[in-house]
Amino acid sequence: METMSPLERILRGLALTLVVVFFMFPIFWIFLMSFQTNETILAIPPSIVFSPTLSNYAALITGKLQTAAGTLDIAFMSNLGNSIFLSVASVAVSLVLGVPAAYAFARHKFKGSEDIAFTLLSFRFAPPLLVLLPLTQYFQWLGLSNTYVGLIWVYQLICLPLILWIVRGYFEDISADVEYAYRIAGHSWLATFRKIALPLAGPGIAAAGLLAFIFAWNNFVFALVLASADKQPVTVGALAFVTSSGIQYGQIAAAIVLSVTPTLALALYAQRYLVEGLSLGAVKG
């Protein structure tokens, strides 16, 4: 990197700080809110000096929400569990189905292969509300509404196209000759897929899986319509904080902190794979 003048360095630092503040401030503010009671949150003017309380977290974990109208049962922890289960299972199913499909689309061009791939992608740009109504009907007939299987199935609309298209690109970046070289040395097609294609596309698959996980985690409408209370993820469960006696800002903030933690942790952990995935071209040789 070329050397920068002190002024440039300062301006650069300033710009970076601005960006970080812009993106991190809401999270930081929510983090602070999660340790405050509704009264201090709603105080005017707002202050960052307050006596922290863990009552919001306690309420979430015990599932007892104290409101002016009495004690409310909330299922936040089970919602969180649902979110984790639904997202992990959906991504797992998508990976099992999508990675071999992506490989097939990348390596074998056949009549109509582009059309099939594009149809799968088109699931991503159909508005969810458009498919929800017929889907609800079908799910009721099939007995799939309010089941984990049904939800994971619908979540494939979100995860599968994403994984398919991202991973396909990574497979296409791997020179087919590397696989040919392996096959000609006496290995089967399947062994080549497992030993050469999968490891080489590994960072890409990890990146795609992470992205699909975040999309699945953030999903709201599908779960809102197709699942009842005991199967709902946090995105839907958070609605419970809007109570008849007011909005529980403190608990909402605590709930947000708890629900972004898994995705944030995953993203931080997978960061190196993401970077590796993006620089795949450098190791192709």
Partner 1 sequence: MTDTALLIKDVDKFYGPVDYGVHAVKNLNMDVKKGEIIALLGSSGCGKTSTLRMIAGFEAVSRGTISLAGKEVQTLPPVRRNVAMAFEGYSLYPPLTVRENIAFALKASKLSQSVVDEKVAGIAKLLEIEDILGRYPSSISGGQQQRASLGRALIRDANLHLLDEPMGQLEPQLRALLRGRIKHFIKERGLTAILVTHDQTEANALADRIAVMEGGVLQQFDTPQKIKERPANLFTGTFVGEPPMNVFEASVSGSESKMAFGLKDGVRLEYAASDFSHAVRDELVKRQKVVLGIRPYSVRRSADGVTGRVAVNQWLGDQTHIAADFAGGTMVLVEHDRTQLDVGQPIGIHLDPSSLHVFDGESGRAISHGQELA
Residues at the site binding partner 1, with contacts judged by CB under 8 A:
175, 177-178, 180-189, 196, 199-200, 282-285
Element (H, E) at 52: none
- CB of 1 vs partner 1, minimal distance in Å: 22
- CB of 281 vs partner 1, minimal distance in Å: 11
- CB of 193 vs partner 1, minimal distance in Å: 13
In the bound state with partner 1, the residue whose beta carbon lies nearer, of 206 and 255, is 206
In the bound state with partner 1, the residue whose beta carbon lies nearer, of 87 and 179, is 179
In the bound state with partner 1, the residue whose beta carbon lies nearer, of 29 and 180, is 180
φ, ψ of residue 251 to 5 degrees: the values are -65, -40
- CA end-to-end distance (rounded Å), the chain: 24
- CB of 285 vs partner 1, minimal distance in Å: 5
- CB of 198 vs partner 1, minimal distance in Å: 12
**Cα gap 71→67, rounded to integer Å:** 6
Across the chain, how many H-helices and E-strands are there?
13, 4
Instruction: Output the six-digit token pair for 181.
Output: 């070289």
In the bound state with partner 1, the residue whose beta carbon lies nearer, of 68 and 282, is 282
**Contact (CB, 8 A) for 86 and 123:** no
Q: Please state at what angle helix 148-173 crosses helix 76-107, rounded to 10 degrees.
A: 40
In the bound state with partner 1, the residue whose beta carbon lies nearer, of 215 and 276, is 276
In the bound state with partner 1, the residue whose beta carbon lies nearer, of 30 and 198, is 198
In the bound state with partner 1, the residue whose beta carbon lies nearer, of 2 and 115, is 115
Instruction: Output the six-digit token pair for 75.
Output: 């299922």
φ, ψ of residue 247 to 5 degrees: the values are -95, 130
SS3 64: strand
- CB of 163 vs partner 1, minimal distance in Å: 23
In the bound state with partner 1, the residue whose beta carbon lies nearer, of 171 and 213, is 171
- CB of 284 vs partner 1, minimal distance in Å: 7
**Cα gap 42→40, rounded to integer Å:** 5
**Contact (CB, 8 A) for 81 and 276:** no
Sign of CA dihedral 234, 230, 155, 265: positive
- CB of 279 vs partner 1, minimal distance in Å: 11
- The candidate with the shortest Cα–Cα distance to 222, out of 134, 132, 124, is 132
**Cα gap 240→72, rounded to integer Å:** 9
